[in-house]
Structure 1
Amino acid sequence: MSEKLSRGCSSSSHNKSAATGGDVITTRISKSLSFYLRHGGKKKGLHLDQQGWASFQNLKTLPEFSKLSSDVIRELVHNCPKQRFAVKDEGGELFIRANQGHSLQEVELELEELSAENLPSVVVHGTYMRHWDAIKATGLNCMSRAHIHFAPGLPDSTGVISGMRRTCQLHIYVDAAAAIADGFKFYRSANNVILCPGDAAGYLPAR
């Protein structure tokens, strides 16, 4: 794994307008959806199938979503700049899922497996300086998630939708082709996040 250090990244120099009430509500719903669909839904009574889909009717039984209409869910998914979610209609019923970011090990997303031939030219992981010493010592780690997350470029680069926070202080560039040659798997999610499960312990070690 090769590393390049980029300090102080992604801070915007222009003033952003204050968020509207609608923006705040949308953000709150999006964060709640992320939690339930990626991490805590099963403990709260939300049923996810093996591919991570939950029915909208089941979702509405949870207090956070009881007043939402299917049109609001569709609009939120369509307008999400990071394309975190997907919806589908099946058997006359609406379903929703998170495209990546799960800590639920039993969810098996329909991911595109990558090879040395179809890898993006850049595979980069965004993190923070407080993690640098640990990363140098042991490599990247899935932590509580099923995959290590990468982006095919820095935020605002062409084709980069998600995979890295804008506040990241450290960019770690990975030689994914060499990692694949060493037996590591890489995948692409529906919103163009590059994912790697690491080794049996969830690590992509430095070398």
Structure 2
Amino acid sequence: MDCQNPGKSRRRRGGRGTRDEGRDVRLSKSLSYALRHGACKMGFRMSSDGFIFVDELLSHQHFSSFSLEDVERVVATNDKQRFKLQNHPESGRVQIRANQGHSVQVEDLELRPVVSDDPDCPQEAVHGSYMMHWASIRSQGLSRMTRTHIHLAPGLPGEGRVISGMRGNCDLAVYIDVPKALSDGIKFYWSENGVLLTPGGADGLLSPRYFSRAQRLKPSQCELELQ
């Protein structure tokens, strides 16, 4: 410690902590891209259930400044539980995957189908978006766009078991009548981290007919007209 200027020492420690946090954010974003979208482009071999071996990941130039301990820390501290680490059942090598959010097709993400008579089937699920898109969403529905699923949450962030499923800065919440959609053959799945996923209909859209309500969240909550 610099006894003549203790504030100087504190600033140094604080700066280092900020740099460490920034480094973890960079790693988290890089993992998200590689595991959800860019594995093939980056030359990684992804298993049918979406896993990549961590040692192969770290040997890539994009991840060469990180260690296994860095990856383990980012996975453990990610507030939305975006990733899963496990040992390969045969080789024991550590592997990682994203729990959801893929634009690449993954055959077996261990998603749990939602059925209407399941106690875990929510009566409503919410999709977070932004008011700038409301006119399009209200007329056309929700689109999975380039991803394989539309992401929904069983409630707003901070409500009970809700961990992930929508961004914290969303200012629009669109509520879905899940039993109604299920009765029309729309499929829903639970991911490992509690995100409700649906591919929508054959056109990749979740029709406005399944909207039960919509709210503007910011600057203050208010109900929106569906028609």
TM-score range for the pair, normalised by the shorter chain length: 0.7 to 0.9
- Alpha-carbon offset, residue 156 of structure 1: 1.1
Cα RMSD after superposing both structures:
1.6
- Return the match for 1:199 from 201, 209, 212: 201
Structure 1 stretch displaced more, 123-132 or 56-65? 56-65
In structure 2, C-alpha distance between the alignment counterparts of 1:60 and 1:152, rounded to whole Å: 35
* TM-score, normalised by the number of residues in structure 1: 0.88
Q: How does 1:37-76 map to 2 (within 5 A)?
A: 37-76=35-74
In structure 1, C-alpha distance between the alignment counterparts of 2:183 and 2:39, rounded to whole Å: 37
- Alpha-carbon offset, residue 107 of structure 1: 4.3
- Quick check: 1:51–1:110 contact (8 Å CA) kept in 2? yes
Higher relative contact order (CA 8 A, sep 6+): 1
* Secondary structure of 2:101's aligned partner: coil
- Return the match for 2:128 from 115, 126, 129: 126
In structure 1, C-alpha distance between the alignment counterparts of 2:139 and 2:31, rounded to whole Å: 35
Query: 1:159 maps to what in 2?
Result: 161
Query: 2:145 maps to what in 1?
Result: 143
* Secondary structure of 1:57's aligned partner: helix
Q: Deviations over 1:87-143 (max 9, x none)?
A: 011212100000000000244311011112221344100001111111111111100
- Alpha-carbon offset, residue 64 of structure 1: 2.1
Amino acid at match of 2:183: A
Amino acid at match of 2:182: I
- Quick check: 2:190–2:197 contact (8 Å CA) kept in 1? yes
Q: Deviations over 1:135-189 (max 9, x none)?
A: 1111111001000000111011111111101111110000001100010000010
Query: 2:78 maps to what in 1?
Result: 80
* Secondary structure of 2:76's aligned partner: helix
In structure 2, C-alpha distance between the alignment counterparts of 1:32 and 1:60, rounded to whole Å: 12
Amino acid at match of 2:101: G
Q: Say which one has the larger Rg.
A: 2
Q: How does 1:84-95 map to 2 (within 5 A)?
A: 84-90=82-88, 91-95=91-95
Q: Which runs of 5+ in 2 are unaligned?
A: 1-13, 210-227
* Secondary structure of 1:74's aligned partner: helix
- Alpha-carbon offset, residue 25 of structure 1: 0.6
Amino acid at match of 2:66: L
Determine which structure has the larger helix proportion and give its number: 2
Structure 1 stretch displaced more, 117-126 or 172-181? 117-126
- Quick check: 2:32–2:98 contact (8 Å CA) kept in 1? yes
In structure 2, C-alpha distance between the alignment counterparts of 1:159 and 1:195, rounded to whole Å: 16
Q: Deviation above 6 Å: which 4+ runs of structure 1?
A: none
Query: 2:172 maps to what in 1?
Result: 170
Q: Which runs of 5+ in 1 are unaligned?
A: 1-16
Query: 1:111 maps to what in 2?
Result: 111
- Return the match for 1:27 from 22, 25, 28: 25
In structure 2, C-alpha distance between the alignment counterparts of 1:57 and 1:69, rounded to whole Å: 9
The alignment of Structure 1 onto Structure 2 pairs a total of residues equal to 191
In structure 2, C-alpha distance between the alignment counterparts of 1:80 and 1:120, rounded to whole Å: 25
- Alpha-carbon offset, residue 204 of structure 1: 0.9
Structure 1 stretch displaced more, 121-130 or 170-179? 121-130
